């Protein structure tokens, strides 16, 4: 378990930093890029205040979106690096960096800001609904025009462009977080993607595995 987690609080309450103290808790984790955004951090000076309550107005858009998603998915806790690690403490950094693999491996789900180059962009992007909706053409299966079947037209490179070759995946630290996570929802420009140890599914066509995942790396991460 992580040393600390963010308790998102009940409705109308501020989130706060809590000490886990070895307790078993279901939690989410966030994978993101700091970029050029001014990221609010936990420091030795504000650690006590963070445990009393975190001012949402001080958080970047990505952090606020992550807290909302945690609530929407029915979870109470989330791990965010800059808030759960005391940033100006070399001792805390050394201890928590050594536990980073277990943080992501034990998370119930990782939320990945796949297309956000900084914390100001958030998880949710303005999207064109037409690009999310599937395009299909009905074609008859016999010469009488009976029994039409639907043939779907999909842009198969979406996952590769938005996740594999995306801005988040270009950072070595974030790439590590992806492979260590058991389950990940990637928030892209055009749609969301699900990735786990065995499959990858896109929002546009959720009933089909598009085959973009690299199973040998996932198998390696699951065995460690």
- Judge whether 146 lies within some domain: no
- Rounded CA separation 173/180 (Å): 11
- Judge whether 141 lies within some domain: no
**Mean pLDDT taken over the chain:** 82
- Judge whether 209 lies within some domain: yes
Q: Tell me whether strands 192-196 and 183-187 are parallel, antiparallel or unpaired.
A: antiparallel
- Judge whether 176 lies within some domain: yes
Asked if the model's pLDDT at residue 216 lies above 50, the reply is no
Tell me the pLDDT tens digit for each residue of 165-199: 667 766 666 777 888 899 999 998 778 889 888 88
Closest CA to 194 of 215, 220, 221, 212: 212
- Rounded CA separation 85/2 (Å): 10
* Helices 215-223 and 172-180, packing angle to 10 deg: 80
- Rounded CA separation 21/220 (Å): 29
Q: What is the domain range of residue 70?
A: 4-126+157-223
Q: What is the mean pLDDT of residues 101-107?
A: 94
- Judge whether 191 lies within some domain: yes
Count up the domains in the chain and report the number.
1
- Judge whether 147 lies within some domain: no
Q: Which residue has the higher pLDDT, 35 or 41?
A: 41
- Judge whether 178 lies within some domain: yes
- Judge whether 136 lies within some domain: no
């Amino acid at each position: 378990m992580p040393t600390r987690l963010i308790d998102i609080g009940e409705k109308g309450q501020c989130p706060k930093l809590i000490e886990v103290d070895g307790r078993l808790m279901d939690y989410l984790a966030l994978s993101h890029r700091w970029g050029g955004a001014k990221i609010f951090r936990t420091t030795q000076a504000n650690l006590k205040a963070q445990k009393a309550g975190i001012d949402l107005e001080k958080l970047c858009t990505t952090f606020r979106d992550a807290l909302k998603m945690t609530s929407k998915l029915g979870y109470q806790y989330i791990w965010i690096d800059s808030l759960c690690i005391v940033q100006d403490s070399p001792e805390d950094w050394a201890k928590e960096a050594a536990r980073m693999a277990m943080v992501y491996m034990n998370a119930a789900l990782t939320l990945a800001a796949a297309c956000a180059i900084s914390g100001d962009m958030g998880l949710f992007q303005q999207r064109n609904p037409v690009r999310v909706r599937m395009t299909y053409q009905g074609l008859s299966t016999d010469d009488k025009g009976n029994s039409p079947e639907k043939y779907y037209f999909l842009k198969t490179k979406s996952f590769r462009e938005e996740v594999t070759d995306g801005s988040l995946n270009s950072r070595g630290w974030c790439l590590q977080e992806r492979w260590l996570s058991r389950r990940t929802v990637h928030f892209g420009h055009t749609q969301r993607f699900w990735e786990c140890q065995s499959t990858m599914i896109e929002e546009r066509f959720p009933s089909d595995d598009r085959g973009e995942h690299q199973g040998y790396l996932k198998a390696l991460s699951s065995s460690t």
